[in-house]
């Protein structure tokens, strides 16, 4: 008991330490962000003053030009004072120093040097243009309004002044962009610091939560174990119930499907034994062909049951090799055999699909099941069509038949175990409802997809696709007749 209390106290102390560290981290981060924000905002005020003084150069430049025009016409104008303030402010903006804050007063402000090389270069260009403008302006002032060159020199002076004005605008833009970049940098740094704090906070929070959970788990361990045991027992009971239901359904379906062909075989054999001498050769052949068909059906039923058991046990692992697709189709058609005799079969195999990399035995079983399904659910004498074509690094195979079709609500369920479309014709069709479920399991094991499309009363198409390597082997390999047998 004492040890348990010591554990609780030590755990609480660790949680308190982590909480204190988390609180200290957030306080430190908040103080740092506030300090950085205050420093940046103060710098922003200084930058605003620089932008204002740089922008005032436009006003001084325009005033200088107007005073020169007034002086050229003999009117009083102190353009020299304006020129001096313009030049002094420009030097202060470029190199730092005192700048006149208000015209007509001696009030000045101390400016720092230009913050970037681009701004210094632009101010130097502005200073050069102003110097040239000053020389041209002094020459212009020596002319009288009646002088023949007065108008042309005035136009040149105005054009030169416009160039100075453009340079001033560029400098103002650079000052403003530099000021904005500080704000952007502040936002970015604060965002980074905030993200780091959040990340560290999450880590510490996770540790706190883990410590708290450890304490809670220590108290609630027995209850959780009992709950897990109860859930485990319920899950096992439910698994047994589902297993029993599956076995019952399989036994019921299999018993019914076995009884019908066995009864037919028994009846035919009894008739042959009792009336063998009185029968004609044609009648005996007819009885034997019927027995052969029923045996073929039993073979397919047993194959389906074996395949379904392998799929349910997770033992279906395709052993892929290269097979000619045409050979797989021919083998499937031969296995269906007599059932296709009264139905025209159309096979359309694209020239681009010659060999496929699959488990030949399993894919041939899929073809057999799809053909068997098409025969069962189509009227006698109707056409059945098989198509194969390449689609985007895969091969698509389609088996189509005409007939009653599949209702839209049943299209997805036809691949479920024991599921069969409810119709009057379904009562006359042999089968356990496993064929299409087996097809789905085999195609899924190949990494492909299977689906159904149907127009009720017209055509039904069951199609499957499976991926393929980029190119087949340079030589033909063995067909399904040379491959392994069914297990």
Residue ranges in 276-389 assigned as alpha helix (H): 281-312, 325-336, 360-376
CA distances 234 to 223, 230, 241, 247, 469, Å, are 17, 6, 10, 20, 46
What's the confidence (pLDDT) of residue 106?
65
Are 432 and 304 spatial neighbours (Cβ–Cβ below 8 Å)? yes
Sign, CA dihedral 98-100-106-107, equals negative
CA distances 445 to 304, 316, 448, 468, Å, are 16, 7, 7, 14
Please name every residue paired with 355 in a beta bridge, in sequence order, or none if there are none: 324
Q: Is the pLDDT of residue 481 over 50?
A: no
Are 62 and 169 spatial neighbours (Cβ–Cβ below 8 Å)? no
The pLDDT of 378-387, averaged and rounded, is 89
Domain limit, last residue, from 193, 215, 237: 215
Band of pLDDT at residue 8, cut at 50, 70 and 90: very low
d(CA 229, CA 221) in angstroms, rounded, equals 12
First to last CA, the chain: 63
CA distances 296 to 292, 335, 338, 481, Å, are 6, 8, 10, 18
Ranking 147-156, 165-174, 229-238, 447-456 by mean pLDDT, the lowest is: 229-238
pLDDT digits (tens, 9 = 90+) for 353-374: 888 999 988 898 899 889 988 8
Instruction: Specify the pairing of strand 355-358 against strand 345-349.
Output: unpaired
d(CA 359, CA 322) in angstroms, rounded, equals 8
What's the confidence (pLDDT) of residue 41?
67
What's the confidence (pLDDT) of residue 258?
67
How is residue 413 annotated by DSSP? G
pLDDT digits (tens, 9 = 90+) for 178-228: 878 877 777 777 778 777 777 777 877 777 777 677 767 777 777 777 788
Per the domain annotation, does 356 fall within a domain? yes
Per the domain annotation, does 118 fall within a domain? yes
Domain limit, last residue, from 215, 244, 260: 215
In percent, how much of the chain has pLDDT > 70?
79
pLDDT digits (tens, 9 = 90+) for 23-70: 677 677 777 777 777 777 666 667 777 777 778 888 888 888 888 888
Per the domain annotation, does 226 fall within a domain? no
Q: How many domains does the chain have?
A: 2
What's the confidence (pLDDT) of residue 464?
93
Per the domain annotation, does 249 fall within a domain? no
What's the confidence (pLDDT) of residue 114?
84
A 10 A CB-CB count for 342 gives 10
What's the confidence (pLDDT) of residue 5?
41
Task: Map residue 472 onto helix, strand or coil.
Answer: coil
CA distances 333 to 171, 228, 369, 447, Å, are 86, 54, 11, 25
Band of pLDDT at residue 465, cut at 50, 70 and 90: very high
Per the domain annotation, does 168 fall within a domain? yes
Per the domain annotation, does 334 fall within a domain? yes
What does the mean pLDDT of the chain come to? 78
Question: 354 and 207, same structural domain?
Answer: no
d(CA 433, CA 373) in angstroms, rounded, equals 10
State the pTM of this model.
Answer: 0.43
Band of pLDDT at residue 462, cut at 50, 70 and 90: very high
Question: 322 and 207, same structural domain?
Answer: no
Within 8 A by CB and 6+ apart from 169, the residues are 58
Q: Is the pLDDT of residue 7 over 90?
A: no
Higher-pLDDT residue of 110 and 485 is: 110
Q: Is the pLDDT of residue 122 over 80?
A: yes
d(CA 419, CA 422) in angstroms, rounded, equals 9
Higher-pLDDT residue of 452 and 27 is: 452
Per the domain annotation, does 287 fall within a domain? no
Task: Map residue 335 onto helix, strand or coil.
Answer: helix
Question: 174 and 45, same structural domain?
Answer: yes
How is residue 112 annotated by DSSP? P
Q: Is the pLDDT of residue 242 over 70?
A: no
What's the confidence (pLDDT) of residue 457?
80
d(CA 383, CA 188) in angstroms, rounded, equals 71
pLDDT digits (tens, 9 = 90+) for 304-320: 677 666 676 667 788 89
What's the confidence (pLDDT) of residue 12?
53
Question: 36 and 180, same structural domain?
Answer: yes
Band of pLDDT at residue 386, cut at 50, 70 and 90: very high
Band of pLDDT at residue 273, cut at 50, 70 and 90: confident
Per the domain annotation, does 286 fall within a domain? no
Ranking 157-171, 277-291, 314-328 by mean pLDDT, the lowest is: 277-291
Question: 175 and 27, same structural domain?
Answer: yes
Are 272 and 405 spatial neighbours (Cβ–Cβ below 8 Å)? no
What residue numbers bound the domain in which 386 lies? Answer: 310-482
Q: Is the pLDDT of residue 291 over 80?
A: yes
Domain limit, last residue, from 184, 215, 246: 215
Residue ranges in 341-486 assigned as alpha helix (H): 360-376, 435-445
Question: 314 and 210, same structural domain?
Answer: no
d(CA 287, CA 297) in angstroms, rounded, equals 16
pLDDT digits (tens, 9 = 90+) for 404-439: 888 888 777 888 877 766 555 444 556 567 788 889
How is residue 149 annotated by DSSP? T
């Amino acid at each position: 008991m004492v040890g348990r209390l010591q554990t609780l106290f030590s755990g609480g102390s660790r949680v308190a330490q982590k909480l204190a560290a988390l609180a200290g981290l957030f306080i430190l981060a908040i103080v740092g962000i506030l300090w950085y924000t205050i420093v940046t905002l103060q710098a922003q005020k200084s930058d605003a003053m620089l932008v204002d003084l740089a922008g005032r150069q436009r006003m001084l430049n325009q005033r200088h030009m107007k005073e020169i025009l007034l002086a050229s016409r003999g009117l009083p104008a102190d353009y020299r004072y304006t020129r001096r303030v313009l030049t002094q402010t420009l030097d202060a903006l470029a190199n730092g120093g005192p700048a006149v804050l208000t015209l007509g007063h001696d009030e000045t402000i101390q400016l720092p040097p230009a913050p970037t090389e681009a701004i210094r270069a632009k101010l130097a260009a502005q200073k050069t243009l102003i110097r040239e403008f000053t020389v041209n302006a002094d020459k212009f002032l020596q002319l009288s309004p009646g002088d023949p060159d007065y108008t042309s020199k005035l136009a040149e002076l105005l054009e030169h002044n416009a160039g100075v004005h453009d340079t001033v605008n560029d400098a103002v833009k650079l000052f403003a962009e530099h000021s904005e970049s500080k704000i952007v940098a502040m936002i970015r740094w604060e965002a980074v610091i905030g993200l780091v704090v959040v990340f560290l906070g999450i880590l510490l929070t996770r540790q706190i939560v883990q410590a708290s959970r450890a304490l809670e788990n220590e108290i609630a361990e027995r209850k959780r174990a009992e709950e897990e045991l109860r859930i485990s027992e319920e899950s096992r009971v439910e698994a047994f119930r589902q297993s029993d239901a599956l076995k019952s359904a399989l036994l019921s379906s299999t018993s019914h499907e076995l009884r019908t062909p066995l009864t037919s075989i028994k009846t035919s054999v009894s008739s042959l034994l009792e009336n063998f001498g009185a029968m004609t050769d044609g009648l005996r052949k007819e009885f034997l062909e019927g027995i052969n068909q029923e045996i073929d059906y039993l073979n397919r039923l047993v194959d389906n049951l074996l395949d379904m058991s392998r799929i349910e046990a997770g033992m279906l692992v395709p052993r892929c090799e290269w097979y000619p697709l045409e050979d797989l189709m021919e083998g499937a058609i031969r296995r269906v055999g007599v059932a296709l005799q009264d139905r025209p079969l159309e096979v359309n195999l694209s020239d681009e699909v010659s060999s496929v990399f699959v488990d030949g035995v399993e894919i041939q079983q899929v073809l057999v099941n799809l053909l068997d399904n098409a025969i069962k659910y189509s009227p006698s004498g109707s056409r059945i069509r098989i198509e194969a074509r390449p689609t985007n690094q895969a091969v698509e195979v389609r088996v189509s038949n005409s007939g009653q079709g599949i209702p839209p609500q049943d299209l997805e369920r036809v691949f479920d175990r024991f599921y069969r479309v409810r119709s009057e014709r379904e009562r006359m069709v042999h089968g356990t409802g496993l064929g299409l479920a087996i097809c789905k399991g085999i195609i899924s094991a190949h990494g492909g997809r299977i689906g159904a499309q149907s127009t009720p009363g017209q055509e039904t198409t069951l199609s499957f696709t499976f991926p393929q390597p980029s190119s087949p082997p340079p030589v033909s390999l063995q067909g399904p007749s040379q491959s392994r047998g069914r297990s």
